[in-house]
A and B are shown apart, each in its own frame.
Chain A
Amino acid sequence: NAGVTQTPKFRVLKTGQSMTLLCAQDMNHEYMYWYRQDPGMGLRLIHYSVGEGTTAKGEVPDGYNVSRLKKQNFLLGLESAAPSQTSVYFCASSYGQGYGYTFGSGTRLTVV
Chain B
Amino acid sequence: DAGVIQSPRHEVTEMGQEVTLRCKPISGHNSLFWYRQTMMRGLELLIYFNNNVPIDDSGMPEDRFSAKMPNASFSTLKIQPSEPRDSAVYFCASARGNEQFFGPGTRLTVL
A and B bind: no
Interface of B with A (CB < 8 Å)? none
Interface of A with B (CB < 8 Å)? none
